[in-house]
Amino acid sequence: MIVIGGSTTFIFGTILSWRALSIIGLIPTAVLLLGLFFIPESPRWLAKRGLTKDFVAALQILRGKDADISQEAKEIQDYITSLEKLAKPKVLDLFQKRYLRSLTIGVGLMVCQQFGGINGVGFYASSIFDLAGFPSATGTILFAILQIVITGVGAALIDKAGRKPLLLVSGSGLVTGSIFTAVAFYLK
Protein backbone atom coordinates (compact mmCIF):
# COMPACT_ATOMS: atom_id res chain seq x y z
CA MET A 1 0.00 0.00 0.00
CA ILE A 2 2.93 2.32 0.64
CA VAL A 3 4.20 1.75 -2.90
CA ILE A 4 0.72 2.29 -4.36
CA GLY A 5 0.32 5.54 -2.38
CA GLY A 6 3.74 6.82 -3.39
CA SER A 7 3.29 5.79 -7.02
CA THR A 8 -0.13 7.42 -7.18
CA THR A 9 1.47 10.62 -5.92
CA PHE A 10 4.09 10.37 -8.67
CA ILE A 11 1.37 10.00 -11.29
CA PHE A 12 -0.75 12.87 -9.96
CA GLY A 13 2.42 14.94 -9.60
CA THR A 14 2.88 14.93 -13.37
CA ILE A 15 -0.54 16.57 -13.77
CA LEU A 16 -0.89 18.82 -10.70
CA SER A 17 1.23 21.48 -9.06
CA TRP A 18 2.92 20.62 -5.79
CA ARG A 19 0.52 22.89 -3.91
CA ALA A 20 -2.55 21.13 -5.31
CA LEU A 21 -0.92 17.75 -4.62
CA SER A 22 -0.27 18.77 -1.01
CA ILE A 23 -3.89 19.82 -0.51
CA ILE A 24 -5.16 16.59 -2.08
CA GLY A 25 -2.81 14.69 0.25
CA LEU A 26 -4.65 16.19 3.20
CA ILE A 27 -7.89 14.41 2.22
CA PRO A 28 -6.89 10.85 3.23
CA THR A 29 -5.22 12.22 6.36
CA ALA A 30 -8.40 14.06 7.38
CA VAL A 31 -10.54 10.96 6.69
CA LEU A 32 -8.24 8.85 8.90
CA LEU A 33 -8.25 11.47 11.64
CA LEU A 34 -12.04 11.69 11.65
CA GLY A 35 -12.34 7.91 11.49
CA LEU A 36 -10.31 7.56 14.69
CA PHE A 37 -13.22 9.03 16.64
CA PHE A 38 -15.54 6.24 15.48
CA ILE A 39 -13.46 3.08 15.85
CA PRO A 40 -13.39 1.20 19.14
CA GLU A 41 -10.21 0.70 21.08
CA SER A 42 -8.34 -2.55 20.46
CA PRO A 43 -9.88 -5.36 22.53
CA ARG A 44 -6.45 -6.90 23.16
CA TRP A 45 -5.08 -3.61 24.47
CA LEU A 46 -8.08 -3.19 26.76
CA ALA A 47 -7.70 -6.77 28.02
CA LYS A 48 -4.00 -6.20 28.66
CA ARG A 49 -4.87 -3.11 30.74
CA GLY A 50 -7.39 -5.11 32.79
CA LEU A 51 -10.44 -3.23 31.48
CA THR A 52 -12.59 -6.35 31.11
CA LYS A 53 -15.95 -4.62 30.64
CA ASP A 54 -14.56 -2.30 27.93
CA PHE A 55 -12.69 -5.22 26.36
CA VAL A 56 -15.86 -7.29 25.97
CA ALA A 57 -17.83 -4.28 24.67
CA ALA A 58 -15.17 -3.44 22.05
CA LEU A 59 -14.96 -7.05 20.90
CA GLN A 60 -18.75 -7.24 20.59
CA ILE A 61 -18.80 -4.03 18.51
CA LEU A 62 -16.12 -5.41 16.17
CA ARG A 63 -17.80 -8.81 15.73
CA GLY A 64 -21.41 -7.59 15.58
CA LYS A 65 -24.31 -7.51 18.01
CA ASP A 66 -25.43 -11.09 17.41
CA ALA A 67 -21.98 -12.71 17.37
CA ASP A 68 -20.95 -15.10 20.13
CA ILE A 69 -17.65 -13.72 21.38
CA SER A 70 -17.25 -15.90 24.47
CA GLN A 71 -14.70 -18.29 22.92
CA GLU A 72 -12.63 -15.50 21.35
CA ALA A 73 -12.73 -13.47 24.59
CA LYS A 74 -11.47 -16.50 26.53
CA GLU A 75 -8.66 -17.07 24.00
CA ILE A 76 -7.59 -13.42 24.25
CA GLN A 77 -7.64 -13.55 28.07
CA ASP A 78 -5.60 -16.78 28.05
CA TYR A 79 -3.10 -15.24 25.64
CA ILE A 80 -2.72 -12.11 27.78
CA THR A 81 -2.24 -14.27 30.88
CA SER A 82 0.45 -16.36 29.20
CA LEU A 83 2.23 -13.21 27.98
CA GLU A 84 2.33 -11.78 31.47
CA LYS A 85 4.10 -14.91 32.73
CA LEU A 86 6.98 -14.41 30.28
CA ALA A 87 10.06 -12.45 31.25
CA LYS A 88 10.03 -8.82 30.17
CA PRO A 89 12.49 -8.37 27.28
CA LYS A 90 15.05 -5.56 27.29
CA VAL A 91 16.63 -3.83 24.30
CA LEU A 92 20.05 -5.15 25.30
CA ASP A 93 18.70 -8.70 24.93
CA LEU A 94 18.89 -8.17 21.15
CA PHE A 95 22.67 -8.04 21.36
CA GLN A 96 23.13 -11.51 22.81
CA LYS A 97 25.34 -13.84 20.82
CA ARG A 98 22.41 -16.05 19.73
CA TYR A 99 20.67 -13.09 18.03
CA LEU A 100 23.79 -11.52 16.51
CA ARG A 101 23.47 -13.15 13.07
CA SER A 102 19.75 -12.34 12.70
CA LEU A 103 20.25 -8.78 13.92
CA THR A 104 23.18 -8.24 11.55
CA ILE A 105 21.19 -9.55 8.58
CA GLY A 106 18.11 -7.48 9.43
CA VAL A 107 19.98 -4.22 10.00
CA GLY A 108 22.27 -4.92 7.04
CA LEU A 109 19.30 -5.38 4.70
CA MET A 110 17.76 -2.11 5.89
CA VAL A 111 21.06 -0.23 5.41
CA CYS A 112 21.60 -1.74 1.95
CA GLN A 113 18.04 -0.88 0.98
CA GLN A 114 18.57 2.75 1.93
CA PHE A 115 21.91 2.92 0.11
CA GLY A 116 20.36 1.16 -2.91
CA GLY A 117 19.26 4.52 -4.22
CA ILE A 118 15.64 3.98 -5.24
CA ASN A 119 14.53 6.95 -3.15
CA GLY A 120 17.04 9.16 -4.92
CA VAL A 121 15.91 7.86 -8.29
CA GLY A 122 12.30 8.54 -7.32
CA PHE A 123 13.01 12.07 -6.09
CA TYR A 124 14.91 12.96 -9.24
CA ALA A 125 12.97 10.81 -11.73
CA SER A 126 11.77 13.75 -13.83
CA SER A 127 15.30 15.24 -14.00
CA ILE A 128 16.81 11.87 -14.86
CA PHE A 129 14.31 11.31 -17.67
CA ASP A 130 14.87 14.85 -18.98
CA LEU A 131 18.63 14.33 -19.03
CA ALA A 132 18.15 11.00 -20.80
CA GLY A 133 16.08 12.71 -23.51
CA PHE A 134 12.85 10.97 -22.49
CA PRO A 135 9.65 12.91 -21.69
CA SER A 136 9.74 13.37 -17.91
CA ALA A 137 5.98 13.05 -17.36
CA THR A 138 5.78 9.79 -19.31
CA GLY A 139 8.91 8.43 -17.63
CA THR A 140 7.64 9.30 -14.16
CA ILE A 141 4.30 7.60 -14.83
CA LEU A 142 6.05 4.49 -16.19
CA PHE A 143 8.38 4.50 -13.18
CA ALA A 144 5.39 4.63 -10.79
CA ILE A 145 3.50 1.87 -12.61
CA LEU A 146 6.62 -0.31 -12.75
CA GLN A 147 7.10 0.09 -8.99
CA ILE A 148 3.55 -1.12 -8.34
CA VAL A 149 3.93 -4.09 -10.70
CA ILE A 150 7.31 -5.18 -9.31
CA THR A 151 6.10 -4.84 -5.71
CA GLY A 152 3.02 -6.95 -6.55
CA VAL A 153 5.16 -9.62 -8.22
CA GLY A 154 7.54 -9.66 -5.25
CA ALA A 155 4.67 -9.96 -2.76
CA ALA A 156 3.15 -12.81 -4.77
CA LEU A 157 6.45 -14.67 -5.11
CA ILE A 158 7.88 -14.22 -1.62
CA ASP A 159 6.05 -17.20 -0.13
CA LYS A 160 6.69 -19.41 -3.16
CA ALA A 161 10.30 -18.57 -3.96
CA GLY A 162 11.52 -17.48 -0.53
CA ARG A 163 13.23 -14.33 0.64
CA LYS A 164 16.82 -15.27 -0.20
CA PRO A 165 16.32 -15.97 -3.93
CA LEU A 166 14.24 -12.80 -4.29
CA LEU A 167 16.89 -10.75 -2.47
CA LEU A 168 19.59 -12.20 -4.73
CA VAL A 169 17.62 -11.46 -7.90
CA SER A 170 16.56 -7.97 -6.83
CA GLY A 171 20.02 -7.11 -5.52
CA SER A 172 21.61 -8.27 -8.79
CA GLY A 173 19.08 -6.26 -10.76
CA LEU A 174 19.74 -3.20 -8.59
CA VAL A 175 23.50 -3.40 -9.10
CA THR A 176 23.14 -4.03 -12.85
CA GLY A 177 20.63 -1.20 -13.27
CA SER A 178 22.74 1.23 -11.24
CA ILE A 179 25.89 0.40 -13.23
CA PHE A 180 24.01 0.70 -16.51
CA THR A 181 22.56 4.09 -15.53
CA ALA A 182 25.88 5.38 -14.22
CA VAL A 183 27.76 4.33 -17.34
CA ALA A 184 25.08 5.78 -19.62
CA PHE A 185 25.21 9.18 -17.92
CA TYR A 186 29.01 9.12 -17.66
CA LEU A 187 29.44 8.42 -21.37
CA LYS A 188 26.87 11.01 -22.43
End-to-end CA distance of the chain: 37
Task: Give the predicted TM-score (pTM) of the model.
Answer: 0.58
Evaluate if residue 30 carries a pLDDT over 90: yes
Evaluate if residue 34 carries a pLDDT over 90: yes
pLDDT of residue 33: 94
Distance CA 31, CA 37 (A): 10
Q: Tell me the pLDDT tens digit for each residue of 98-147.
A: 888 888 888 888 888 777 777 777 778 888 888 888 888 888 888 889 88
Evaluate if residue 31 carries a pLDDT over 90: yes
Distance CA 127, CA 143 (A): 13
pLDDT of residue 47: 84
